[in-house]
Amino acid sequence: MTAGGKNARTAEIDPALLEYIEQIVTAKIAERIEAGGQAEQSEEQPGKTGTSDRATLVVFSSDMDKLMASFVIATGAASMGMKVSMYFAFWGLGVLKKKSVFRNKSITEKLMTLMLPCGTNGLNVSKMNMMGMGPAFFKHVMREKKISTLPELMNVAKEMGVRMIACQMSMEVMGIKQEDLLDGLDYGGVATYLADARDSKITLFI
Amino acid sequence: MTNKSLDCKQLNCPMPIVKISQAMKEMSAGETLEVEATDAAFQADLTAWVKQMGHELVEFSSGPIQRAIIKKGQATKK
């Protein structure tokens, strides 16, 4: 009875109006889905593994050996189906730099930019640095032993969906702007790290 | 016969595991993958990885070139 009544009422409405309503509703739903999907994506982006297994690394050091260890662990964890996030803070930010930009920076920021290592070149090693000869020596040994280089490991990590987050506060201190850094990075602070670390089975400070 | 084979010779940690995990992603449950590797930690790493991911290590032979056959598990951990 009621269903029949509803139908009867629908029939009374102008079909053009119905179509108009339908259009608006569809557009709104699509909008919602897109917004929801995006939010979900940014949350699930790391690795898209869908497990609660997470590894969270704080990369603080700019030493080549420590960075290599960080990326070996990150790629290894990603291979084991873990969601991996790497938080780069202070000296660790240097490896994420693609270029040193001096424009629109204060004197202190320019100085910092000049002194900080940029990318994977010019990094020191934590032991046996030998006034800068250490890194060349290690690179040579590693090439001989066919061990993946730092840039290679970084590429693998990227391909595997390892999330890399630059610490905003460190960027401020170091005079680093987003334009200095590689593309495809996320930006965050201590809460971003802690929210991640809280759900992680592994969290390391390197 | 295995469904797929992978050459990980001359590769060092973590690359064999990285390559295997990538290859496994494109396979379906029950399929087998043959891997050859020279990494000294290969057996230890592979055993741990297989256990973690829910796959099965069907065969392993050591030597200068290590050979492993891995069967993709049914309920693999994603």
Residues B29-42 have pLDDT tens digits of: 999 999 999 998 89
pLDDT for the residue A18? 81
Q: Please check whether residue B53 touches A, CB under 8 A.
A: yes
B13 contacts in chain A (CB < 8 Å)? 72, 76
- Residue of A51, A73, A79 to mutate when probing chain B, most B C-beta within 10 A: A79
pLDDT band at B46 (very low <50, low <70, confident <90, very high): very high
pLDDT for the residue B75? 63
CA distance A81 to chain B (A): 6
Token readout for B36 is 């050859």
Please give the residue of chain A at the shortest CA–CA distance from B45: A76
pLDDT band at B66 (very low <50, low <70, confident <90, very high): very high
Cα distance between residue B52 and residue B49, in whole Å:
5
Cβ–Cβ under 8 Å, residues A53 and A83: yes
A202 contacts in chain B (CB < 8 Å)? none
Question: Which residue in the list B12, B13, B21, B30 is annotated as catalytic?
Answer: B13
Predicted ipTM beyond 0.85:
no
Q: Which residues of chain A have pLDDT under 50?
A: 1-5, 39-51
pLDDT for the residue A52? 65
Cα distance between residue A23 and residue A173, in whole Å:
51
pLDDT for the residue A10? 53
pLDDT band at B24 (very low <50, low <70, confident <90, very high): very high
pLDDT for the residue A7? 53
Helix, strand, coil percentages in chain B from 3-state DSSP, rounded to 5: 30, 30, 40
Query: Is B13 among the residues known to form the active site?
Result: yes
pLDDT for the residue A84? 95
Q: Which contacts qualify for A1-10: CB closer than 8 Å, 24 or more apart?
A: none
The average pLDDT across B55-62 equals 94
User: Which residue is listed with tokens 């290969």?
Assistant: B42
pLDDT for the residue A41? 45
